[in-house]
Amino acid sequence: MIAPLRGAPTSSLLARVAAGQVGGVILLGGWSSLRATAAAVARLQQVSCTRRGTPLLVGVDQEGGAVRRLTWAAPTLAAASMRTPSVANAQARAAARAMRAAGIAIDFAPVADTLSTPRSFLGTRSFGSDPATVAALVRAFVRGLQGGGVAATAKHFPGLGSAVASTDDRPVAIARSAAFLDARLAPFEAAIAAGAKLVMVSNASYPALDRSGTPAVFSHTIVGELLRRELGFDGVVVSDALDAGAVAHVADEPGRALAAGVDLLLYSRTSASEAGYSQLVRDAATSASVRGELAAAVRRIDALKSSLGLAC
């Protein structure tokens, strides 16, 4: 369970960490200094290590440009302004140095979506409209981050470049053909080939890939078959925000995401993360399949922590 953190950890969040109800946090809002960021992360890790014997996963949306939670840190450029692989790599390396100094081990970046309409809500968050160009820049960004000891996250699989509305706000269906969507998987394939440790799955639905119209985050066809089996990704799969407008109405979100092949369940609101944890506990108590899916997710998460050198 990935819970939101918007400032110094509250006593209630620390209690949840101590009780094992939180496996990590995502830093949201604006963080204006290295000192404040590092202090918040250190306090959480102290409680997790003392009470649970294992470190938390700490991540942040540090894409650059408009999506830059650490206002004091790189990337200073938006993806659309990183026009060459060398620039993307340098920006990512600088970001990694800053994040590791603050105790952050995961960047929920880069955006691997290829713009497919001038009305895309992503705007400058994408590297561009040509899949091959986007793939080269994504590859360079991933290598820059991970060369600096920070895990990269290719998002939003299998692609949001055709969306004109954000899944944060409402349900979104990508009405494109399978051939069209497959041609835009190249940046995700490049990220996987470069060793990206995480992939974030979209909350949109893709009827051409899964005829049921199930949002990708709940689709075993898209996560288990396309991402894991066909593309060969064996790292950690993280959801987009499960309390987003596109999927917040779906019953039993945590269990359905796990069944699809998702490992980390991300929430942007505290109350939603608490409800998600409670639902997952109830599901695990009554379902052997959920317990098995949890065990598989924990194995991949433990491998991620080990690869990042995270230990108490």
Give me the mean pLDDT over the 167-184 stretch.
Answer: 97
Give me the mean pLDDT over the 216-242 stretch.
Answer: 98
Confidence of residue 236 (pLDDT cuts 50, 70, 90): very high
Note the pTM of the prediction, 2 decimals: 0.98
Give Cα separations from 185 to 154, 199, 307 (angstroms): 11, 12, 26
Confidence of residue 263 (pLDDT cuts 50, 70, 90): very high
Is 255 part of any domain?
A: yes
Confidence of residue 237 (pLDDT cuts 50, 70, 90): very high
Contact 310, 55 (CB under 8 A): yes
Q: Is 67 helix (H, G, I), strand (E, B) or coil?
A: strand
Is 266 part of any domain?
A: yes
Q: Is 3 helix (H, G, I), strand (E, B) or coil?
A: strand
Specify which residues 237 forms β-bridges with.
199
Please say if 283 is a catalytic residue: no
What phi, psi does 199 have (nearest 5°)? -130, 130
Residue-level pLDDT at 122? 97
Residue-level pLDDT at 86? 98
Confidence of residue 169 (pLDDT cuts 50, 70, 90): very high
Q: Output the domain CATH number for residue 240.
A: 3.20.20.300
**Considering just the CA atoms, what is the radius of gyration of the chain in Å?**
18
Is 144 part of any domain?
A: yes
State which amino acid sits at residue 253. E
Q: Which residues of 142-161 are buried (b: 16+ CB within 10 A; e: fewer)?
A: bbbbbebebbbbbbbbbbbb
| Structure tokens given for 200 | 């974030």
Q: Is 2 helix (H, G, I), strand (E, B) or coil?
A: strand
Give Cα separations from 26 to 11, 70, 273 (angstroms): 17, 12, 12
Residue-level pLDDT at 240? 98
Contact 63, 110 (CB under 8 A): yes
Give Cα separations from 75 to 48, 69, 145, 232 (angstroms): 29, 10, 11, 29
Confidence of residue 81 (pLDDT cuts 50, 70, 90): very high
State which amino acid sits at residue 54. T
Taking only the tens place, the pLDDT of each residue in 25-73 is 999 999 999 999 999 999 999 999 999 999 999 999 999 998 999 999 9
| Percentage of the chain modeled with pLDDT above 90 | 99
DSSP secondary structure code for residue 31 in this structure: B
Contact 85, 140 (CB under 8 A): yes
Find the helix or strand (DSSP H, E) in which 305 lies.
helix 288-307
Is 184 part of any domain?
A: yes
**For residue 206, what are the domain limits?**
2-307
Catalytic residue among 61, 107, 240, 243: 240
Residues 6+ apart with CB under 8 A from 234: 228, 300
**How many whole angstroms separate alpha carbon 267 and alpha carbon 280?**
14
Confidence of residue 201 (pLDDT cuts 50, 70, 90): very high
Residue-level pLDDT at 2? 98
| Percentage of the chain modeled with pLDDT above 70 | 100
Plot region of 252 (φ>0 → left; ψ -120 to 50 → alpha; else → beta) = left
Structural domains in the chain (count): 1
Q: Where are the beta strands (DSSP E) in 17-122?
A: 24-27, 57-60, 62-64, 67-68, 106-107
Is 312 part of any domain?
A: no
Residue-level pLDDT at 152? 99
Taking only the tens place, the pLDDT of each residue in 97-154 is 999 999 999 999 999 999 999 999 999 999 999 999 999 999 999 999 999 999 999 9
**How many whole angstroms separate alpha carbon 127 and alpha carbon 155?**
12
